[in-house]
Structure 1
Amino acid sequence: MTKPFRFGLQAYSSSSPSDWRKLAKKTEDLGFSSFHLPDHYIGEGPAQRGCNHPLQNLAALPAMTVAAEAKKSIRIGCRVLCCDYHEPVVLPKEVATIDWFSEGRLEFGLGAGWIQSKYGQWGFQ
């Protein structure tokens, strides 16, 4: 059985809560099948510039929940949640709760992390 090719959108930030909801709605209205954001916590400065990623002003878990409420069929997710940034006892429960509220539309990606400049700024070795 083959599955159709799908396209998703990844967003890093928003200027307001209403703009975030509008972006999630528009993503679905334009025919995208998923709406994702990354798991970056670093603010403006040398470490952020060193990792070559856009500045992200939203935390992934609450932003995914709001996006899921904005529309009822688009899949939502984080690309990818870094193990080192989250409490291992808490994260599974938070993710399961988001999946429950979104009625099974969460796409869960989990990774080890790799951007050295971020780890250095937080004192990770």
Structure 2
Amino acid sequence: MTPAVARPVRIAVQLQPQDAEYGRIRDGLRRCEDAGVDIAFTWDHFFPLRGDPDGKHLECWTTLAAWAEQTSRIEIGALVTCNGFRNPDLLADMARTVDHISEGRLILGIGSGWFERDFTEYGFEFGTAGSRLDDLAEALPRIESRLARLTPPPTRDIPVLIGGGGEKKTLRLVAQHADLWHWFSGPEELPRKLDVLRRHCAEVGRDPADIEVCAGVGGLGRAGLPPGPPEREGAPLLALGVTTYTINAVGPDFDLDHVLPWLAWRDAVNAERSA
């Protein structure tokens, strides 16, 4: 999966927007940009995933529109948008609009969704894991078609990030549609996932090197724990072709102390690669 010209290593932070007023989220985003983080992600849920299940929480895409106006350098996106919450044509238009507000810094992260309460309390059909992936497969061409027809068009070809590790359906959608693939595989599991992705790419006529491989590190998506030292946790993934590493920052404080060593490691790796 490693491209002929190595991509630079990038560090992303997912500002998990639970238990926080917007002012705290805004401050966390400002500190991410000031520290040199490459990408800031929010998530697309309606309720906290840990702690008080009815705690403070804010919506994803209206947050992204505010982030687009607030920032000037950092890329922004959802890790990941739940396909089942919005009409695909509407989502494309929303993405195009945030792309314009940000002057070309949006990453369109999308997946099939998994948190049942989000669906049921907001009146969306939860279905099954398979049916949600089938819905995503139908939505992605509609999103692409709508983006191609909007006036004004997006400022760039908006990068599409697909999240998920399902080998039969999700990775095939990655091969067909994604510029970035994001999952939580460690170095033990990732080689198998990459082999499956390569096979799907071969079947659809796609060069797998065109897809950037992204990984969540530390406790992202699990217990909200910080990652270990990048030399221990990042280096084995880098050897497998991962170039973007996502670290969580949990509300209400959005502490970034555990992110700083990863930024230093990124800079060292990129300097070495460019020497």
Shorter-chain-normalised TM-score: which range?
Answer: 0.7 to 0.9
Could you tell me how far 1:12 is from its partner in structure 2?
Answer: 2.2
The AA in structure 1 aligned to 2:22 is P
- TM-score of the pair, normalised by structure 1: 0.79
Q: Are 2:72 and 1:72 equivalent residues in the alignment? A: yes
* Residue in structure 2 matched with residue 15 of structure 1 by the alignment: 20
The AA in structure 2 aligned to 1:38 is W
The C-alpha deviation readout for 1:86-110, integer Å capped at 9, x for no partner, is 1223111011100111011001111
Say if 2:42 and 2:60, in contact at 8 Å, map to a contact too.
Answer: yes
Size of the alignment, in residue pairs?
118
In 2, Cα distance between equivalents of 1:101 and 1:34: 16
Q: Which moved more, 1:12-21 or 1:2-11?
A: 12-21
In 2, Cα distance between equivalents of 1:90 and 1:117: 23
Q: Secondary structure at the match of 1:107?
A: strand
Which protein is bigger by CA-based radius of gyration?
A: 2
Residue ranges of structure 1 left out of the alignment (5+ in a row): none
| RMSD value, Cα | 2.5
Q: Secondary structure at the match of 1:100?
A: helix
Could you tell me how far 1:58 is from its partner in structure 2?
Answer: 1.4
Say if 1:40 and 1:56, in contact at 8 Å, map to a contact too.
Answer: no
Q: Secondary structure at the match of 2:27?
A: helix
The AA in structure 1 aligned to 2:45 is H
Q: Structure 1 residues 41, 15: closer, same or farther in 2, change over 3 A?
A: closer
The AA in structure 2 aligned to 1:9 is V
Q: Structure 1 residues 79, 72: closer, same or farther in 2, change over 3 A?
A: same
Say if 2:13 and 2:41, in contact at 8 Å, map to a contact too.
Answer: yes
Identical aligned pairs, as a percentage?
26
In 2, Cα distance between equivalents of 1:21 and 1:123: 29
* Residue in structure 2 matched with residue 33 of structure 1 by the alignment: 38
